[in-house]
Structure 1
Amino acid sequence: MSTVIEQAVQARLVAPAPRMETVPATLRYDLTDPFAVRMSFPAPATLEGVDVAWAFSRELLARGVEEPAGVGDVRIRPFGYDRTVVEFHAPEGVAMVHIRTSEVRRFLKRAQQLVPAGSEHRFLDFDEDLARLLSDDTR
């Protein structure tokens, strides 16, 4: 069984102009970080021209497809029949994308099969994390 789930999604960038541009994005869930998901965008899709990845809680994503969620750098809410809006807040500004809710639900279902919600703590490796914190390599 794979310990990483990656799913390509088409995100529609909400821009000040009245059009919406489709950009590729990837949702990623990794068993080694069971509480988080990552959404990444390739360099051509970003203002900086570099790959960008945002990490946020899986619970935030799951809640955001049902109701507005988040108060920090990442905010998620349903929009219309089959869209979910993800807002990324940074000092440079706010980026907003629309993703098909059905794609997000499919991703969340796959992550749920790998690590059931509420059991994430069972997949943490406290011994390895503590060893890394106490090692001389971190100085």
Structure 2
Amino acid sequence: MSTVIQQSVQARMVASAPRMETLPATLQYDPNDPFTVRMAFPAPATLEGTEVAWEFSRELLAAGMDTEAGLGDVRIRPFGYDRTVLEFHAVEGVAMVHVHTAELRRFLERSQERVPTGDEHLFLGLDQKLATLLGDAR
């Protein structure tokens, strides 16, 4: 049985205005997809009026809290002594949010209690999927 870990966080949208808007966001980790973290922003917090979610590696999140990490659509880096910046790059533009690093660390600790770093491959269920596939081939 898999238990999905979810944690609400307050993200601050970085904009050109001097005041940053606080947005609700949810971090999610599913042991059935052990390498992936999902960060979702609810519909009222987005320009499109629909939930927007980004998926990226748990390893990227862990690395980005201590040093600049990521080259693609998601980039993460520390900011000051207590915040982490997550950048989400899309065709429409770039969204940058600040999140308290302590919240991210707490989320990672919970995910690592469920699936220790380095043991992700044990949770992929490849043997079961292969048996199902081969069983269907008979």
TM-score (ref. length: structure 2): 0.91
* Residue of structure 1 equivalent to 2:45: 45
Name the CA shift for 1:33/1:17 in 2 (closer, same or farther; >3 Å): same
| Cα displacement string for residues 110-136 of structure 1 (whole angstroms, at most 9, x for unaligned residues) | 0110000000000002255558889xx
Whether contact under 8 Å (2:2, 2:32) holds in the other structure is no
Counterparts of 1:129 and 1:122, CA distance in 2: 13
* Residue of structure 2 equivalent to 1:6: 6
Q: How does 1:1-139 map to 2 (within 5 A)?
A: 3-127=3-127, 129=129
Q: Structure 1 counterpart of 2:15, which letter?
A: A
CA RMSD of aligned residues (A): 2.0
> What is the aligned length?
135
- The unaligned stretches of length 5 or more in structure 2 are none
* Residue of structure 2 equivalent to 1:137: none
Whether contact under 8 Å (2:24, 2:41) holds in the other structure is yes
Once the two structures are TM-superposed, the CA of residue 3 in structure 1 deviates from its matched residue by 1.5
Query: % of aligned pairs identical?
Result: 72
| Cα displacement string for residues 76-118 of structure 1 (whole angstroms, at most 9, x for unaligned residues) | 0000010000000000000000000000000000011000000
- The unaligned stretches of length 5 or more in structure 1 are 135-139
| Cα displacement string for residues 20-41 of structure 1 (whole angstroms, at most 9, x for unaligned residues) | 0000000000011000000000
Whether contact under 8 Å (2:25, 2:42) holds in the other structure is yes
| Other structure's SS at 2:32 match | coil
